[in-house]
Amino acid sequence: MNPSKGGRIGLYAYGILILAFLYLPLISVGFASVSQARYLSFPIRQYTTQWYGQALESDTVSDLLWISLQVATIVTIISMVLGFFGALAFARYHWRFRRLYQKLILLPIFFPQSVLGLALLMWFNAVGITPTWHTAIIAHLVWIAPIATLIIAIRAYSFDPALEEAARDMGCSTWQTLREVTIPLLMPGVISAGLFSFLLSWGNFPLSLFTTGADLTLPEWLYAKMVSGYSPLVPTVGMLSVAASIVLVVVAFAVSMLTTRFKRNTTN
């Protein structure tokens, strides 16, 4: 159906408004990061890249990036592995209490993260673990591993269980079935679960705030600097963080495009 002229103008206006709502704040942070002035004001009188230079030279910033990167990477890897086996257990095997377990596993996604963070902090104290970025990994996993499991489970539910039976019927051992059929078919789900895990961990604030102890992740530092002692590096580090996320997503897309094309080329 084609909209009338008035309708079309309305649709465009609506689209632009939504996009502006979504992206204007981020764009203004972008402007702030290249403004000479200490505080953001429009119009920008002088553009500069000095904050980026300083940020990249700063030990604090590289420490922040390193800690955030370590947390996100480890959370991603563990989430992918847990999610893979968890999804298989959900979708492929029938066992008692499976449905109940399924729901309980997914429940942490719906908890307010600040409450979850507080609960974990109290728990770490109770068992005598000093919170560092290591404990933040556990906290992130409590929230992110269920999400990864959910993403992979959707994929696992969507493929025909007869594929695995057929592989077995044609002589595959359990391991061969996993390698030849299950893993290749679940891979797209595992990759997107990994991508989500990384981005959710990389940008997570509430869980990190409660559970990193003396260590700081990137979002925590941004918040700390806003509360006390604003630095013009704040928008810059913020933009670096966004840039890292974008790079990851772009790389993931490129890799998936290339592998499909590679596959098509090798089979045609």
Kindly list the residues in this chain that would bind other proteins in the complex (CB under 8 A): 159-160, 162-163, 165-173, 176, 180-181, 184-185, 264, 267-268
Q: CA torsion sign, 221 to 223 to 224 to 226? A: positive
**Min CB(56)–other proteins separation in Å:** 42
Question: Least CB distance from residue 264 to other proteins, whole Å?
Answer: 8
Nearer to other proteins by Cβ, of 1 and 162: the residue is 162
Tell me the residue type at 51: W
Q: Which is nearer to other proteins, 164 or 220 (CB)?
A: 164
Nearer to other proteins, 63 or 165 (CB): 165
Nearer to other proteins, 47 or 175 (CB): 175
The residue among 127 and 162 lying less far from other proteins, judged by its C-beta, is 162
Segment 93-102 long-range contacts (CB within 8 Å, at least 24 positions apart) = none
Nearer to other proteins, 57 or 169 (CB): 169
The answer to whether the Cα torsion of 159, 77, 206, 139 is positive or negative is positive
Sign, Cα dihedral of 205, 206, 207, 213: positive
CB of 89 to other proteins, least distance (A): 20
Which residue in 108, 94, 124 sits closest to 212, CA to CA?
124
Residue 179: CB minimum distance to other proteins, A: 10
Q: Shortest Cβ distance from residue 163 to other proteins (Å)? A: 5
Least Å distance, CB 158 to other proteins, is 11
